[in-house]
Amino acid sequence: MSSIFVIVVVVSFLFGVRKPLYGCIAGTIAAGISYYLFIKSFDLLIFFVVIAVGLILSLIVAYFSSWFFSGFRGGRRHTGPSMIGGFGKGQTAHRGSGIILSDEERKGMKPEHRKK
């Protein structure tokens, strides 16, 4: 019985990265198919309980995977700074925020921007 829920977690995690609803649907379908394949005696009441628990579990796992992977660069709705400070679009992307300038670049700067 635990192998069914392991399959549900893996399938809903993989499909839920981009769209949590797709992960929920895929996890529920995986619960039904794995119950049919792994359990020898088919009982309709237990089947519906497994489907209901698979639906709830896959919804939670899919939303978690979507939330977890949404902050990485290239993830969905990525508008914030990158994970590497000083090279992103955020507040640290101003001149001299970790980027080491050469002497030629420093000489070509306007006097008010020259710090060193």
Q: H helices of 75-114, where?
A: 103-107
| pTM value > 0.75 | no
pLDDT at 72: 57
pLDDT at 116: 53
| Residue 8 within any structural domain of the chain | yes
| Residue 50 within any structural domain of the chain | yes
pLDDT at 82: 47
**What's the number of domains the chain is made of?**
1
CA dihedral 54, 55, 57, 60 (to 10 degrees): 160
| Residue 38 within any structural domain of the chain | yes
Domain that holds residue 52: 2-69
| Residue 101 within any structural domain of the chain | no
Phi, psi of 16 (to 5 degrees): -85, 0
pLDDT at 87: 47
Q: H helices of 1-116, where?
A: 2-15, 20-38, 44-69, 103-107
Phi, psi of 35 (to 5 degrees): -65, -45
| Residue 51 within any structural domain of the chain | yes
| Residue 98 within any structural domain of the chain | no
Query: What is the C-alpha separation between 105 and 113, in angstroms, rounded?
Result: 11
| Residue 15 within any structural domain of the chain | yes
Residues 22 and 58: beta-carbon distance below 8 Å: no
pLDDT at 56: 92
pLDDT at 4: 85
| Residue 75 within any structural domain of the chain | no
- Each residue's pLDDT tens digit in the chain (116 positions)? 788 888 888 888 888 888 888 888 988 898 889 888 888 888 888 888 888 988 898 989 888 888 887 665 554 555 544 444 444 444 444 554 556 767 777 677 666 665 65
